Every structure is written in C-alpha cells, then in structure tokens.
Homo-oligomer: A and B are copies of this chain.
Amino acid sequence: MSARLEAQFAFLNEADRLKSVMRATTLCDGSRRENSGEHSWHLALYALVLADQAAPGVDISRVIRMLLIHDLVEIDVGDVPIHSADGKAHSSTSVQEAESRAADRIFGLLPDDLAQDLRALWDEFEAAETPDAVFAKSLDRVQPVIANLQSGGGTWIEYNVTAEQLESRVGVKIAKGAPRLWDWVREKTRGYFR
C-alpha cells in the first residue's frame, strides 16, 4: 500500500503547481489574473450549478471530474489564451503535442489504474466528442466571458477581440454544449461590443 500512496501523492503534490500557472483572464473584480487551479475549481462549481443547461443524458459527476483535471497539462505547457496569436495558438499542432507529452508525464505519476482512468478522461475532454466532454468544453469557454463581463472587458481589450471573433472562437463552442446559455450570455455581451 505504501508504494501506491507514494505514487498518489507524487501526483497530488505535482498538481499543486497548477496554482502557479497564470491565465490571461482576471478575477471578476479585476484585481489580478486568475490561476489555473482556482479556475478549475470555479468551473467544477459551474457544472454543479448549471447542470440544468446540459443536454439530456450528460453525467454531471463525470463532467466535474473532467473539469478538475482538464488543465493539469498546463503545469508543463502553460496556459495558451484563446485570443492570443489572432486565435490560432490555442489549437495549434505544436501546443497539442506538448500537452499530450505533459499528460504522459503528469498522469504517469499515478498508480497504473488511476493513470489510465484519468488519462482516458482527459483524452475524452480534449477530443470534445462525447456529450459529457462537449458540455465541459462549453463551461470552460463561458467562464472567461463572464469574468470579462464582470471586470469591464478583460482579455477582449487586451487582444482587441471583436463580436465576430467572440462568436467564432468562443460562442460556437458554448452553443454546442449549452445553447440556451450562450443565447443568454451573448445578449449580455452586446452591451460591451456595441
């Protein structure tokens, strides 16, 4: 049992470093940038509270688990802001390859059974094809929109984002998993982009 616990804590202690990975998005009060650890907590809480926005059959407990681990690869790769490099960096092949190597290393710290389970869950999130992953991705995209609305523009100002770019880079993915939510949030953004 001791070797198993050593491996579990090798992973949990490594995960602590996610609290030092900074995102482009700020807290709602604009006081500082958000880190990826607290972001992951907030997203899991989004899933808990916005469960009624998910498609029938979505398993919210699995969505929460996905969101708890979805950003761990940023310990090695850092956060790649969605609007950086004219919106092209986030889904680039080089970033995806680096994230896959990070997943090998970080989930590989765990005992084999847990490593396989959590790696499969992360792969499912990244592929964004199952209903659970599609809803998790929608929440991951909507939370920075809300933070920007709360803080007076946030990363939209920093990256000169237009309403059309918001729709194509963010809105489409929110709408895929949570269409009514995007309808409601998009209305809120009109005041900003008008």
Decide if B180 touches A45 in the complex (CB within 8 Å): no
Please name all residues of chain B whose beta carbon is closer than 8 Å to the beta carbon of A8 when the two chains form the complex.
49-50
Decide if B46 touches A44 in the complex (CB within 8 Å): no
Q: Report A40 CB to chain B, min CB distance, Å.
A: 5
| 24 pairs, CB–CB < 8 Å, chain A vs chain B | A1-B184, A8-B49, A12-B45, A12-B50, A12-B146, A13-B146, A13-B150, A15-B45, A16-B27, A16-B42, A17-B28, A17-B29, A19-B42, A37-B37, A37-B42, A38-B41, A40-B41, A41-B44, A45-B68, A45-B69, A48-B68, A49-B114, A61-B61, A61-B64
Q: Which of A33-86 contact B (CB under 8 A)?
A: 34-35, 37-38, 40-42, 44-46, 48-50, 52, 61, 64-65, 68-69
- Which listed residue (B31, B50, B65) contacts A48, Cβ 8 A? B65
Q: Report A1 CB to chain B, min CB distance, Å.
A: 7
Q: Report A151 CB to chain B, min CB distance, Å.
A: 10
Q: Which of A143-179 contact B (CB under 8 A)?
A: 146-147, 150
**A2 CB–B CB distance under 8 Å:** yes
Q: Which residue of B lies closest to A6 (CB)?
A: B184
**A5 CB–B CB distance under 8 Å:** yes
A25 to B63, CA, bound (A): 29
Please name all residues of chain B whose beta carbon is closer than 8 Å to the beta carbon of A184 when the two chains form the complex.
1-2, 5
**A9 CB–B CB distance under 8 Å:** yes
Q: Report A84 CB to chain B, min CB distance, Å.
A: 22
Decide if B69 touches A11 in the complex (CB within 8 Å): no
